[in-house]
Amino acid sequence: MIEAFSELFFARYNYWMAIILMLIGLYALIAKQNLVKKIIGLNIFQTAIFLFYISVASVEGGTAPIYLPDGASAVYVNPLPHVLILTAIVVGVSITAVALSLVVRIYEEYGVIDEDELKEAVRGR
Amino acid sequence: MTLIDHLPVLLVAGPIVASLLTLVAGWHDRRLCYPIALAAVLGEFAAALVIFRQVMGGGTVRYDVGGWAPPMGIELVIDTFGGFILATIMLLALMTTLYAFRSVTKEIPTEKTVSFYVIFQVLLAGLIGMTITGDVFNLYVFLEISSIAAYTLISATRKPHAYVASYNYLVLGSIAAGFILLGIGNLYVATGTLNMAELAAMLPGSYDLATVHAAFLFLIIGFSIKAAFFPLHLWLPDAYTESPSAVTVLIATVMAKVSVYALFRFLFSVFTLAYITEIYPVTGVVLLIATIAIVAGAILAIAQDDLKRLLAYSSVSQIGYIMFAVGVANQIALEGGLLHILGHAVMKGCLFMVAGLIIYQTGTARLSELGGIARKMPLSCAAFALAGASMIGIPPTIGFMSKYYLVLGAFEAGLWPYAAVLLVGSLLAAAYIWRFIEIAYFGGHHDEHHRTEIREGPASMLAPALGLSLLCLLLGIFVAVPLEAIGLAVAQLLGGA
């Protein structure tokens, strides 16, 4: 029982962490009323996916692919996911920037950043 | 290598360069932006046609970006399906650009027109990239490029409601993109490659892995959100209603179709027909949801008072028709589905253009205030009526032909009750199209006195709308022309090629 649990959880804890983070992010996106907090939730959600990629790439005792002190036979981590996530981070930053600028505009127009109050305000116009 | 060999990469690079050029030229003189944008879109349209001819004549075109052969490098692949979609979206993009000039002048604040045309080109770059890429991660990047551009364009009118619509779309769209990224990650974990052709070759060996199933579900849900497949369409009505008219036309036709294309790509090219029907059967569920989408979207459309919102819900219903083809998943139904991608793009483009014209001239899209509008704007309303007839599926329009093939496909698969739902959907479409027609042609005159000044819209907006409405009819009569490409594309999709 305990072995099965440790096999399921501890041996793959990186995936569990990614899933837990992802759910925290999704929870914030859905349940939080504050528009800025929703964006923070979105960032947590995206970061969880980034960490999932990075943890997949890691190799125990692996070194950076361009730093090979033992020659070509050295064990190194998979560089591709890192490259992909570098791109995805840029995308995430852009999304955050657009989202926050929209929140600024919404606040300027309606004077609220709470979702329920915003719905009232939208209906009122 | 000649210029023709480099066309695939130029298709993506063209709009990006054009957007930078627009920016620089706009700095100098704001009036230079539109000619550059128009020239760029014309060039892209011509390039898309050349590529399409090449694909029809000599088979799939492959291009290694930067000379790096796959799987190391990124590959651009244009097969018959991709070429067909590329030609369709560039036709619509050209029409939208023609339409945009006057519409943008009126709806977008003058100091923002430069950024509008810059982002417009970026959006096109993203959408073209999604259509021709052969690499799944590259597809994600292009998807995000087009999405960010779309979020910005939706709020371009700088109306308060548009910001809220854009924010809601951004949140849902980012969740979708996150799911897609996660799905791609799972595919990479399972196979170690990101190239679509290699994925298709290597995935069958891992079909029993939970990783692959998870990847499949993440991808299908992510793209369903982007394509606004019921019940994941919640962002769509506000986004379509609040954006500037030209942007509505572009995202309702080009962007929606590219999302559906990407979904088809994953369902049939990366995963295969065998996977979605036997190993992880989802077609039954998709068919059920698609029929619900057709009926629910149409009923919601009938209940609307805003013309643009009515058409937006109609889009939810029409996406259902395209997904219906996935649910049936045989040659005839998929031919109908692909024909509907073309047909719906043309007719919805026309309908939204007319809605934009009416807003341009009257300042409102509320049906209750548009009584007797057809007497003031006869040509616009005639275009609406023709495209509306196509939406309902009256022969010999393109809308009739695509629904006819869908029904035939459903019959061939023995799905009689579902075929009946298609007909119900047509009846409901008749109901919501007729609402506008009745108000426009037979509506009251009670506010006639203060709207005598309303006339037809400017010719540069009217001409694309009329052209698209005629195209609805012509494509229906000469349906063999698109079907030649579609038949080949479907055969490739079903063959897993």
Instruction: Pick B323 or B279 by higher pLDDT.
Output: B323
Average pLDDT for residues B202-207, to the nearest whole number?
A: 82
**A99–B164 CB contact, under 8 Å:** no
> Measured between CB atoms, which of B148, B163, B178 is closest to A94?
B148
Question: What's at A45, amino acid-wise?
Answer: F
The CA–CA distances, whole Å, from A30 to A106, B236, B239 equal 19, 18, 19
A2-124 to CATH, choices 3.30.2290.10, 3.40.50.720, 3.30.460.80, 1.10.287.3510: 1.10.287.3510
B399-429 exposure pattern, b = at least 16 Cβ within 10 A, e = fewer: bbbbbbbbbbbbeebebeebbebbeebbebb
**B181–A88 CB contact, under 8 Å:** yes
Give the model confidence (pLDDT) of B297-324 as tens digits: 999 998 888 888 899 999 999 999 999 8
For residue A113, name the pLDDT band (cuts at 50, 70, 90): confident
Residues in chain B closer than 8 A to A49 (CB atoms) = 178, 181-182, 185
The pLDDT score that the predictor gives to residue B234 is: 85
> Would you call A24 an interface residue with chain B, using a CB distance cutoff of 8 Å?
no
The pLDDT score that the predictor gives to residue B27 is: 85
Is the per-residue pLDDT at A41 higher than 90? Answer: yes
Count of other CB atoms within 10 angstroms of residue B237: 23
Give the whole-angstrom CA distance, residue A118 versus residue A15. Answer: 37
Give the model confidence (pLDDT) of B424-473 as tens digits: 888 888 888 888 888 888 876 655 545 557 777 788 888 888 888 888 88
For residue B497, name the pLDDT band (cuts at 50, 70, 90): very low
The pLDDT score that the predictor gives to residue B483 is: 83
> Would you call A85 an interface residue with chain B, using a CB distance cutoff of 8 Å?
no
- Compare all CA atoms of chain B with the CA of A111 and give the residue at the minimum distance: B160
Q: Which two tokens mark B32?
A: 């230079």
Give the whole-angstrom CA distance, residue B482 versus residue A48. Answer: 44
**A42–B141 CB contact, under 8 Å:** no
Q: Residues, chain B, total?
A: 497
For residue A90, name the pLDDT band (cuts at 50, 70, 90): very high
Give the whole-angstrom CA distance, residue B204 versus residue A15. Answer: 24
Question: What's at A71, amino acid-wise?
Answer: G
Give the whole-angstrom CA distance, residue B235 versus residue B247. Answer: 15
Segments making up each domain of chain B, as ranges:
324-497
> Would you call A12 an interface residue with chain B, using a CB distance cutoff of 8 Å?
no
Q: Phi, psi at residue B63, to the nearest 5°?
A: -140, 125
> Would you call B167 an interface residue with chain A, using a CB distance cutoff of 8 Å?
yes
- Compare all CA atoms of chain A with the CA of B238 and give the residue at the minimum distance: A122
Give the whole-angstrom CA distance, residue B59 versus residue B61. Answer: 6
**B167–A125 CB contact, under 8 Å:** no
Q: Which two tokens mark B407?
A: 């029904």
Cβ within 8 Å of residue A97, ≥6 positions away: none
Quote the crossing angle between the two packed helices B378-392 and B459-477, to the nearest 10°: 30
> Measured between CB atoms, which of A46, A95, A105 is closest to B170?
A95
Cβ within 8 Å of residue B62, ≥6 positions away: B75, B76, B77, B134
On the question of a cis peptide bond just before residue B417, with omega within 30 degrees of 0, the verdict is no
Average pLDDT, chain B: 86
Give the whole-angstrom CA distance, residue A101 versus residue A119. Answer: 19
Is the CB of residue B358 less than 8 Å from the CB of residue B370?
yes
> Measured between CB atoms, which of B170, B177, B185 is closest to A53?
B185
Q: Phi, psi at residue B454, to the nearest 5°?
A: -75, 125
Q: Which two tokens mark B493?
A: 């999709």
Is the per-residue pLDDT at A55 higher than 60? Answer: yes
> Would you call B73 an interface residue with chain A, using a CB distance cutoff of 8 Å?
no
The pLDDT score that the predictor gives to residue B448 is: 53
**B164–A118 CB contact, under 8 Å:** yes
Average pLDDT for residues A32-42, to the nearest whole number?
A: 91
Give the whole-angstrom CA distance, residue B448 versus residue B437. Answer: 18
**A109–B174 CB contact, under 8 Å:** no
The pLDDT score that the predictor gives to residue B446 is: 55
Give the model confidence (pLDDT) of B39-90 as tens digits: 889 999 998 888 888 888 887 888 888 778 777 788 888 888 888 899 999 9
Question: What's at B495, amino acid-wise?
Answer: G
Q: Which two tokens mark B72?
A: 């190391």
In chain A, % of residues over pLDDT 90: 34
DSSP conformation class of B253 = I
**A102–B166 CB contact, under 8 Å:** yes
**B151–A91 CB contact, under 8 Å:** no
Segments making up each domain of chain A, as ranges:
2-124
Give the whole-angstrom CA distance, residue B251 versus residue B101. Answer: 17
**B185–A49 CB contact, under 8 Å:** yes
Cβ within 8 Å of residue A78, ≥6 positions away: A56, A57, A59
The pLDDT score that the predictor gives to residue B181 is: 92
